[in-house]
């Protein structure tokens, strides 16, 4: 089936539109108003970013990409509770696109008791309602996105906040480069290019297999999580990720010709064009070990100059690949039936 015909048939909620207009989303997010009161008379010793799913990955990206630059601890919380160290000198950023995420609302309730500086990033819902009532600043996001498709909206405002309180240098030049690069890639990866789209080629290779995504450590390890989650939600397939050098101390032993179920696996190495020599060497040796067992693997290398542009070039490649894999799997990328089922069950009274 022609890819454009297949997209018209299976992309019932037009997820492709989010991908095509991603450059504009990045710029829009950078131009959002950041409330002045966020940093009013505050001494901040650490930061906690609380969220789930697509609303949490922005925090993980910031933590990962700028770990070399940040001079205070930054923790990402993907659950109901907050770490015990949270106190009046903690900046607590609560991110929920819908504003109704159960775990994030629980974290908000606990955060409000600590005396920490609270900022909510949301489109509205109960989170905005409670923040208004309690007098905490809110960064309002535009509605109409799938949370995972709003990665620019959940990530870029964090950069602005960290700039505002002096924990990151100005990133406006990096944003400009990233918007330009992603705009170029949008045309290159578009289904209008047909078989010339590299993410489509990768999706065709992955089709019928389980993707395993391997990255280096920070600043790019969060991209493995992003790729995995996009394969899960968009393409409706299991996927797994890990990072080098950690996997060289455990997971590499699992690559055994008797037990690895090699025929079901496809490995994707996410590479940085500027990766450090020790990581480069470890990746190459890891590939040698895998190549003894299978040829079902590939490298994807970053593009751009700034760390932000290089990271987003890989992120965008993965988003398009998961979209095309959804279409090859004859699935609507926007559907999340299992998540909806789980949420509905959680709202029902527990059995005695």
For residue 285, give every residue at least 6 positions away whose Cβ sits within 8 Å of its Cβ, in sequence order, or none.
none
User: CB of 143 within 8 A of CB of 161?
Assistant: no
343 belongs to the catalytic site: yes
Report the distance separating Cα 208 and Cα 129, nearest Å: 45
Q: Please tell me which residue in 68, 113, 249, 292 is annotated as part of the active site.
A: 249
Q: Please tell me which residue in 60, 103, 221, 233 is annotated as part of the active site.
A: 233
DSSP string, 247-293: GGGTGGGG--TTTS-GGGEEEEEEE-TT--HHHHHHHHHHHHHHHTT
Angle, vertex CA 211, rays to CA 210 and CA 213, nearest 5: 150
User: CB of 310 within 8 A of CB of 215?
Assistant: no
- Please state whether the peptide bond connecting residue 96 to the residue before it is cis, i.e. omega within 30 degrees of 0: no
249 belongs to the catalytic site: yes
For residue 299, the cross-strand partners are: 269
User: CB of 267 within 8 A of CB of 296?
Assistant: yes
Report the distance separating Cα 72 and Cα 281, nearest Å: 31
Burial (CB count <10 Å: 0-12, 13-18, 19+), residue 218: middle
Angle, vertex CA 57, rays to CA 161 and CA 3, nearest 5: 125
Q: Please tell me which residue in 12, 188, 330, 343 is annotated as part of the active site.
A: 343
284 belongs to the catalytic site: no
Find how far residue 209's CA is from the centre of its chain.
22
Report the distance separating Cα 23 and Cα 254, nearest Å: 39
What is the SS3 assignment for 112?
coil
Token readout for 271 is: 């590479």
Strand 90-96 and strand 46-51: pairing? parallel
Q: How many CA atoms lie within 13 A of 38 on its CB side?
A: 23
Report the catalytic residues.
233, 249, 343
């Amino acid at each position: 089936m022609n890819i454009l015909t297949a997209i018209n048939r299976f992309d019932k909620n037009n997820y492709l539109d989010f991908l095509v207009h991603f450059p504009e989303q990045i710029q829009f997010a950078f131009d959002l108003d950041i409330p002045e009161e966020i940093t009013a008379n505050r001494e901040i010793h650490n930061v906690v970013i609380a969220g789930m799913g697509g609303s949490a990955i922005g925090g993980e990206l910031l933590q990962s990409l700028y770990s070399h630059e940040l001079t205070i601890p930054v923790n990402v919380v993907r659950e109901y509770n907050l770490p015990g160290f949270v106190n009046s000198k903690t900046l607590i950023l609560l991110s929920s696109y819908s504003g109704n995420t159960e775990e994030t609302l629980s974290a908000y309730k606990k955060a409000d008791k600590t005396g920490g500086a609270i900022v909510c990033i949301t489109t509205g819902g109960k989170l905005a309602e409670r923040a208004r009532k309690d007098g905490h600043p809110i960064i309002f996001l535009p509605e109409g996105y799938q949370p995972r498709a709003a990665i620019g909206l959940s990530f870029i405002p964090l950069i602005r906040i960290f700039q505002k309180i002096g924990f990151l240098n100005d990133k406006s030049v990096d944003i400009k480069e990233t918007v330009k690069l992603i705009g170029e890639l949008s045309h290159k990866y578009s289904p209008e290019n047909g078989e010339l789209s590299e993410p489509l080629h990768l999706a065709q290779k992955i089709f019928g297999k389980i993707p395993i995504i391997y990255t280096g450590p920070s600043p790019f390890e969060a991209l493995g999580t992003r790729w995995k989650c996009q394969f899960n939600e968009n393409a409706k397939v299991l996927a797994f990720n890990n990072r080098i050098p950690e996997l060289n101390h455990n997971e590499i032993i699992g690559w055994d010709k008797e037990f690895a179920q090699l025929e079901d696996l496809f490995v994707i190495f996410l590479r940085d064009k500027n990766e450090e020599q020790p990581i480069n060497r470890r990746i190459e040796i890891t590939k040698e070990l895998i190549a003894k067992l299978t040829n079902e693997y590939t490298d994807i290398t970053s593009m751009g100059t700034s760390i932000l542009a290089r990271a987003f070039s890989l992120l965008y490649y993965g988003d398009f690949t998961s979209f095309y894999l959804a279409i090859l799997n004859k699935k609507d990328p926007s559907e999340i039936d299992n998540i909806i089922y789980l949420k509905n069950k959680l709202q029902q009274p527990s059995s005695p």
